[in-house]
Structure 1
Amino acid sequence: MKEKRRTIAAIGLITVLLLALGAAGSAKNEKAALKRESQEAASSLPAKKEAVTETSEEALTEISLTPEEKELLDQLTEQMERGDLEAAARTLNGYQIPWKEFPYMYDKTAMKAEVSDGKGLVFIKASTVFYGDFADGSPQGNCTALQVLELEEGKRYDYSFGTWDQGKMTGEGESGYNYYDGVTEDVTKTNIKKGTFQKDLMEGAVTYTSINAAGEETTWQFDVQGGVIVPDDKWIKETDSSGAVVYRLMAEGAEVHAYTLSESAMGESRWKNLIVYENWKAGGF
């Protein structure tokens, strides 16, 4: 009888232990399940965070403008559009551009830190702006480039306008410079190069015009290949007082004016677009 009681007690103890172990296992499994659920929920967080960051970056591409800045950009756009480059140069030179990283594009509605397809102003640096048609981040079609400089002899702007293809002048166009403040009669006030461009270099017939501060205009015509002069019988090869070889070309209709170049200068690729547009990516490199 006593042995039977011991057997029953042992069975009861084992039952209690099994129940306790089962409860612990259930609790452990429940904790594991909760941990798995927590991990699965957490795994979705990076994607959500990345999406929020991307949206924020998109919002940051548009730059806030003050009323004064918008007025300046609208004025500059209007001046470039009508081809008044001197007025545009004065506007650009007279304003301290607050933006430090380039390029920026203004399309009459907003200023953005990217170059999108369409028409607008594109700043590639504080002193240099392009206006016209853009595609794939570069000038494509009709475009005008303007750069302002402050030199010892006076204030000057360089310019280029015409047809562009994939960011390079290609087709009929013009490039040159103009001193609009501070020059004397000793300095060429305006320099104009007209002709056909091929990937920023002039090709074929060139009309070169020089205007001094008194307004006297002198014009020469000659041929170039890949931006280098191709001399013909109109060029006079002679030796100067130092014994160096020089080439002279008399002006059209004005035999008293000669365009003179050294032998080395004749071989230089100097007939080209003065304002090269880098192939900027949207948002800059």
Structure 2
Amino acid sequence: MLTSLSNTKKEVAEMVLVKLTESLLPNPFVDPTIQETTNPLHNAVLSEIRRKSGLNKNDISETAKTAILKKLSSELSDLVLSVDKKRNALNRIQQKRTFNQFLISYEFEFAKFEQLGMTKLEIEDAISNPDLSEHLNEIINIDEDKSTMIFVKELKNKSNDETYTLLVHVERNADILMFSAAWRIFSSDVVRNEYETPSELLKKFIDKKGLFFKISKSFKKKLVIEETPFLVASPIVNPVLAVKIIDESRETYLCLAIRRVPSVNVMKVRLAYVMNITSYKRSLREHGFKIAD
């Protein structure tokens, strides 16, 4: 999207692009113009397009008009083809892509999940042979070096033949997938929809098993799943210190994937939630999984 429209609502941005396009299209009753208008936003868009197209600000030739129309049309098409549609298209590609060539790193939180009965073999199988996978980052690019990824795979419980879903999410850094979390999701907790994406399944699961938290002075929430900026008191060394769990009386697990903004009191959060481990353990035991206390 054009920088001049980056902080504008989608509907307003569409209207600006449509109005500017209409002003340049042939009209038997009106002479098309690319002169400045009385609308500051319109002028900002035109100035940015001229700059990016290498056009002089005073150029009103047919060549300049054609170049501006082409850029307006491209921007409007990108806006109409929403981020959700682009992401869905990416997900369809991702479903066909295997991740056998990636190194999986367990250097952070895996011990916690071993205590919950999870094995590396199960995690690696879900990543290498997922039923579905999804990038969470807004940049629609399957070769994005750094992103959060979710994998889901339907499995059978060996003790009772019950079907459940294993959901794994990782932080991708180039060719390394850094393990973040893995959850067994049972139909008694979450009713699955055959058309839902991995992130939609995670949302439903956190709605059921998650706890409220706050980041810095934000409103309380159960989940952050789109990259969101949060103001913090000062540039922080440990981002976990910016998170306040509302109910600290239960055993919890904090998932926090961030992107720091250097020298600025802003922390961009890609994924954040607090799992109620007390409730999750209860579900595991109810479904026949033996886990440590």
* TM-score grouping bracket, smaller chain normalisation: under 0.3
Calculate the TM-score normalised by the size of structure 2.
0.22
* Structure holding more strand per residue: 1
* Structure holding more helix per residue: 2
Calculate the TM-score normalised by the size of structure 1.
0.22
